[in-house]
Structure 1
Amino acid sequence: MVFTPEVAPADSPPSFVDLSGEIWVPMNRHVCSFGPKIFFQKMMNLIRNPNINSSWLFRADIIYDDQETAQVGHGDDDTRPRVREIRDIARQRILVRTLIPRNARRDDPLHQTCTFHESADAGGSVKSLVIYIPHASCEEMPFYHPKVRGVAHYHEWDPSTASGFVSIHFLPFPDHALQDTKLQRTAYHLLQAVHKHGEGAVSGYVKRVYHDVVVPQARFQDRYALLKTKYAKQLIGSWAEKTDPLKHVFEDLGIAAFLIELWADMYKDSAFPGFVDIGCGNGLLVYILNREGYSGWGFDARARESWQQYKTTTPASLSGSSLEQRLLLPNIIPEDSERVSADPVDPSTTHGGSFPAGTFIISNHADELTPWTPLLAAQSGCPFIMIPCCSHNLTGDKYRAPPPKDKSKGRSTYASLVEWVTHIAEDCGWLVETEMLRIPSTRNTGLLGRTKKAGAESIDTAAILQKYGGAKGYRDNVAQLLRSGPRGH
């Protein structure tokens, strides 16, 4: 269904009556094929995830819900629900949410009451309404919220025709016209969002991507905001690479935030065992983690211009933390799998891939090292995270992994790579957890191995290597990295 909403004329009468006597102004509406149940489901999702409608927002924290036994924040005037009663449309539910902005230095959080209303007539027709009331005056209203006293999503449904309408209505501040272009654009996008999600549910859309499976959203976002405030300006201003500092700084701050919160859970009852970042690239992630007090180091086949400043600013208290030029040549590669290289590699610049047990292995866009990560982790008894990027096989050659057999999964090159390395990890005995990381990259799948399957204490490395194409030629392929320039990461 093409989204072509009707814009309400300026003199349109209100569609419902607020018992306070104040007038709600209709802005636009669109025909829909989803009923009241889906409307309420999608509105609840939009209430919990205001970032769908505004890129200025992180999330919403529900601080009061009259349908929950545990209620928080219902004690002072600022958080007390501000409820509207609507004639002939009974109120069903009250929530108060706090909108959390992405940039806390620019915008303040905002409390907002959300109420659900519904009624049905004798013929079965249903009227449903969801009202947002911000707890702020016109002058106090943050940038990310329209300058109106209220927003209403109105749904009308006729079961005899299995069709209805969904519409947006604003409650204006006194002396504020609603013909402002920005308000009209906001109404359009609010209507488009609920229409899109409702029609998607009717057509059988099934969500494939789930965020915040391992680390809760609020904890990640709060940590990310803190790291961004502490480091972003300095890191962008001192960027020494030729790559885009905005992308890489915010991406690595996001990964660091995830890891810090993950480690808070993993090591809450024990000492942090240290980390190693294999294929560490520009070294920024190692630097951020070191600065936050996590002991660890990283290495890559090529040194980077930025390493010197990251090395010299590493806290002296974290002894052994560093960035080193090393070529990873796994010592688990069978001798008969290697070709004799015409250009031998200096053993002092290599690493065999064995690490102290328990060391947390980071494999962030490590390319040739990605499929090796779960093998190395199993060999040393180390948990890991790998964030796949470019597709290579165990020989180090570029590789197009076969598409997933599960038809419900994506068929892209990246989806195929993720599925392929997941199978390698599972064959190594890992119970793989997947987290879609909230970072500015389309290569944002985090595959986490921190638990082994029962009875998977030892693995047949040779059999796994053979199953996934062998490793012949790996030494020669990765040695090329010493003679070529570094990539973007």
Structure 2
Amino acid sequence: MSETENVLTPSHSLTASDGAPWQIACSQSEVKAPLTQFLEVSNLLLEQVQLNSTHLFRADILRDTSGKLETLAEKEARSQCISRNVKSDAPAGVVDDVATAEQAVPPQFEGFDLHRTIVRRLIPRKPQLDKPLEQSCFIYYSNTSETSSTQKDALVVYIPHCTSSDAMPWYHPKVRGLAYLYSSITPPSSTITATLSIHYLPFPDTPIPLPDRLTRTFQSLLKTIIRLLKLPSKSHQHPTPPHLNGANTTSTPSDISTHPLTPSTLKDTILPQHTVQNTYTLLKQRYAASLISHWIEKTEPSKHVFEDLSIAAFLIELWGGMYGSKVRFNEIAGFVDIACGNGVLVYILRKEGWRGWGFDARRRRTWDVLFGEEMEGCLQERVCVPRPFLDAIGVGEVDGVDVHDGVFERGTFIVSNHADELTCWTPILAALSGGEGSLPFLAIPCCSHGLDGGRKRYTLKEVAESVRDTSARTSSAGEDGVEEEEAQSATGDLKAMRAAKQKASVHGDDKSMYACLTRMTAALAQELGIDVELTLMRIPSTRNIGVVGNRRRVMEFENGEHELKNGVNWLALEDHAGEVEQKIRDLLVRECVSTGGVEASARTWIEKAKKLQGGQGRGKVNLKAHVG
């Protein structure tokens, strides 16, 4: 493939029927990609506009005449978890009213017929600095008789709804129009090649020659689309996976041991991107500057602060859809953040009016900084010793330690954010606290621990055993029935190690420690009869898969649709402690065999808990700086 060139042959020129002076910006010849792949990548860039600019969050599709791209309304309808009475104020400059979207007049080009029209809204990452911009996007096919159906040329044109270069946002090239032209070349062999070029329609005041920044922008746009064309066809698509063990699906508990955990299968499976990002932007404007300005530790503050803001945005939108209103959520029981760490997540949620509290084994100095007298008692220094462990060893074994037995008020939503030792316990606590109904929860796994609190690496074989599926065990095991260990480079070369790390970061390694921990958490929940969904959390962390339990059951109850076999609504159930606790005992007996049994695991847990509470953590904010 030749280097990028700046001159097109006459057959590759772009001529507007109305005489508009479209100009060539740059081009690339000998692009080995069929027309179908060019159109796939064009669809990707229409929606995933952040691939072209780091200043952009996303593109909201407002209209698509072909129906290939989901509009905002269609995404909200599919998610079935949109705030009904809870509506956060829109971030500055973000307009939610689709009806306000207008459509530009499609330009006409010689040799091309209009095939499809899309209207989208570009959403910037910092709406306080740049405004959203609406665009009309048009896709044309060549109409010349010389080209066959498989060798047609195609043209993708973007027309921003902006009347002058001065009014154009920073993140968009200062041009009246932008176009990608795919010109197929009759191949001498079976390999399909084409010339790909970028054209622009200048404003009257656009300088000639083009400024360096604008030239670099055009070249970057061309490089991006060529890079995407080199990827396997349809690799960019994001299919929606079947919800695990959910209503109106044919999925079974065995799905959890083989369900792919890649971003393409988990992204936006519960909530649409725009609702979470709009709320995140609002929270960032309210809290990020204050939290970061007092961060003087050696660790990078932006990751930790923005991570908690992102999780808070997800929970706010999730709860709005589940309960219908903040008042209803607070009436039921609120939330509990187990292993809450520095308490930033609890702080944000309570500031936004959501009732709840958190606890951790060690008190953080940041608790006083963030809360003070304003929220006295909403963070507690307590060690979680699950009720089954207390029953196994007796409460006398934990004298001198402030203990919480992991049983929460009926209806409480459990938040388990990177809770380490409590990650696999999260669905067990949900079942223990909620009787037959089980509590709803969000668990974001991080470091892998066993039920005794010690470090443990789960395998696909153990996941398959927990869901009692023989076929899953067979398919994930070697010839001797034992899970094969991860392949490790015999030479230990740096390139192989980096490749393995990259594969794990996008959850492409089904046998990675994180993948197996996530599957194990979901499998334990399914074993206890909890409705499970997986979703990719939009947080700055590679530990970013959320395991959501009983979301649909809450929504069905709130809509008056869900009744159990005895005719009693889910949240109004009497305590079926005997049946549930028997299931938990059976589970614990099986899972604690390798650690000496339930009693031995309980004593190991207590010893570890006492050490955790022995010292005070600094948290994520250094108190040498005074927070006013």
Work out whether the TM-score is over 0.5: yes
Task: Give the corresponding residue for 1:369.
Answer: 422
Q: Cα–Cα, structure 1 residues 172 and 313, in superposed 2: closer, same or farther, change >3 Å?
A: farther
1:201 and 2:261 are equivalent in the alignment: no
Match of 1:114 among 132, 137, 150: 137
**How far off its partner does 1:224 sit?**
0.9
Deviations 1:206-255 (A, max 9, x none): 75313222112111111111111111111222347664321111111111
**Residues 72-471 of structure 1 mapped to structure 2, 5 A cutoff:** 79-119=102-142, 121-124=145-148, 125-136=151-162, 137-157=164-184, 161-165=190-194, 166-174=196-204, 175-177=206-208, 179-202=210-233, 208-209=262-263, 210-239=266-295, 243-268=299-324, 270-272=328-330, 273-312=333-372, 314=374, 322-333=378-389, 336=392, 345-347=399-401, 349-381=402-434, 382-403=439-460, 410-450=510-550, 458-459=579-580, 460-469=583-592
Task: Look up the SS of the partner of 2:127 in the other structure.
Answer: coil
Letter in 1 for 2:199: H
What is the CA–CA distance in structure 2 between the aligned matches of 1:486 and 1:411, rounded to whole Å?
33
Taking a change above 3 Å as real, the CA distance of residues 194 and 323 of structure 1, as seen in their structure-2 partners, is same
Where 1:200 maps in the other structure, the secondary structure is coil
Q: Report percent identity of matched pairs.
A: 37
Distance 1:27 1:141 in 2: 22
More helix by percentage = 2
The SS at the match of 1:433 is strand
Question: Once the two structures are superposed, what CA deviation does each residue of 1:324-348 show, in whole Å capped at 9, x if it has no partner?
Answer: 100111012275579997xx5524x
CA contact (8 A) 1:155 1:167 kept: yes
Q: Cα 1:41–1:313, aligned 2, differ >3 Å: closer, same or farther?
A: farther
Between 78-87 and 51-60, report the one with greater CA deviation.
Answer: 78-87
Residues 306 and 540 in structure 2, CA contact (< 8 A), matched pair in contact too = yes
User: Per-residue deviation at 1:190?
Assistant: 2.1
What are the superposed Cα offsets for residues 129-177 of structure 1, whole Å, 9 maximum, x if unpaired?
A: 1111122221111111122222212223357534123333333334424
Unaligned ranges ≥5, structure 2: 74-95, 239-261, 464-471, 477-507, 554-563, 571-575, 621-628
- Partner-residue secondary structure (3-state), 1:201: coil
- How far apart, CA to CA, are the structure 2 residues paired with 1:465 and 1:128? 61
The answer for unaligned runs of 5 or more in structure 1 is: none
Counterpart among 3, 14, 17 of residue 6 in structure 1: 3
CA contact (8 A) 2:322 2:551 kept: no
Distance 1:214 1:235, change over 3 A: same
How big is the shift at 1:58? 1.5
CA contact (8 A) 1:240 1:306 kept: no
Matched positions, count: 478
- The alignment partner of 2:543 has SS state of coil
* CA contact 2:44–2:236 (8 Å) conserved in 1: no
Question: Residue by residue, what CA displacement relative to the aligned partner does 1:25-52 show, whole Å, maximum 9, x if unpaired?
Answer: 1412254443222322221221122122
2:99, 2:589 → 1: CA distance?
Answer: 64
Q: What is the alpha-carbon distance in structure 1 between the residues aligned to residue 183 and residue 102 of structure 2?
A: 31
Q: Distance in 2 between matches of 1:104 and 1:313?
A: 34
Determine if contact 2:22/2:199 at 8 Å carries over to the other structure: no
CA distance, structure 1, for counterparts of residue 237 and residue 274 of structure 2: 24
The residue type paired with residue 265 of structure 1 is G
d(CA) in 2 for partners of 1:424 and 1:401? 12
Write the distance in 1 (CA, Å) between the matches of 2:220 and 2:391: 61
Q: 1:232 and 1:214 mapped to 2: Cα distance?
A: 25
CA gap 1:312/1:30 in 2 versus in 1, 3 angstroms: farther
TM-score, length basis structure 2: 0.69
**What displacement does 1:85 show?**
1.2
Mean Cα displacement is larger for which, 414-423 or 119-128? 119-128
Which whole-Å CA distance do the structure 1 matches of 2:198 and 2:232 have between them?
A: 20
Structure 1 residues 154, 314: closer, same or farther in 2, change over 3 A? Answer: farther
Per-residue CA distance 1:235-291 (angstroms, 9 max, x = gap): 222347664321111111111111011110111164432110000000010011111
CA distance in 1 between partners of 2:219 and 2:284 (Å): 32
Moved more, 252-261 or 41-50: 41-50
- Cα distance in 2 for partners of 1:281, 1:19 equals 64
**Match of 2:573?**
none
Distance 1:75 1:469, change over 3 A: closer
**What is the rounded CA distance, in whole Å, between the counterparts of 1:487 and 1:90 in structure 2?**
65
After superposition, give the CA deviation of every residue in 1:402-446 in whole Å (9 maximum; x if it has no partner). 158788763332222212222122212222111211111111111
Q: 1:140 to 1:369 in 2, by over 3 A?
A: same
Residue identity opposite 1:258 in structure 2: F
Counterpart pick for 1:20 among 14, 18, 21:
18
Q: Is the 8 A contact 2:8 2:27 kept in 1?
A: no
Aligned CA-pair RMSD: 3.3
Larger RCO, structures 1/2 (Cα 8 Å, 6+ apart): 2
| Aligned equivalent of 1:483, options 614, 618, 621 | 614
Closer, same or farther: CA 20–6 of 1 in aligned 2, 3 Å: farther
Whole-angstrom distance in 2 between the partners of 1:442 and 1:227: 22
Shift of 1:11: 8.0
Amino acid across the alignment from 1:169: H
Question: Residues 346, 176 of structure 1: CA spacing in aligned structure 2 closer, same or farther, 3 A cutoff?
Answer: same
Distance 1:73 1:221 in 2: 16
Q: CA 1:205–1:214 in 2, change beyond 3 Å: closer, same or farther?
A: closer
Q: Which amino acid aligns with 1:183?
A: L
**Amino acid corresponding to residue 111 of structure 1 in structure 2:** E
1:138 partner letter: S
Q: Distance in 2 between matches of 1:380 and 1:75?
A: 46
Distance in structure 1 (CA, Å) of the matches to 2:142 and 2:222: 21
In the alignment, is the contact (CA less than 8 A) between 1:429 and 1:452 conserved in 2? no
Shift of 1:391: 1.1
Q: 1:279, 1:299 within 8 Å by CA — same for their partners in 2?
A: yes
Q: Which residue of 2 aligns with 1:36?
A: 35
Q: CA 1:5/1:378 → structure 2, altered by over 3 Å: closer, same or farther?
A: farther
Deviations 1:69-121 (A, max 9, x none): 99998988x83314221111111112221111111110011111110001264
Question: What secondary structure, in the 3-state scheme, does the structure 1 residue paired with 2:371 have?
Answer: helix
Residues 301-321 of structure 1, C-alpha deviations (whole Å, 9 max, x = no match)? 111111002222646xxxx86
Amino acid aligned to 2:13: S
More strand per residue:
1
Say if 1:147 and 1:101 are closer, same or farther in 2 by CA, change over 3 A: same
Secondary structure of 2:170's partner?
coil
Asked if structure 2 preserves the Cα contact closer than 8 Å seen for 1:361 and 1:385, the reply is yes
Q: Comparing 66-75 with 111-120, which one deviates more in the overlay?
A: 66-75
Q: Distance in 2 between matches of 1:336 and 1:227?
A: 44
Deviation at 1:188, TM superposition (A): 3.3
What is the CA distance between 1:386 and its match in structure 2?
0.5
Q: Secondary structure at the match of 1:448?
A: strand
* Separation in structure 1 between the aligned mates of residue 25 and residue 153 of structure 2, nearest angstrom: 15
- 1:474 aligns with one of 584, 605, 623: 605
| Partners of 1:452 and 1:97 in 2: CA distance | 31
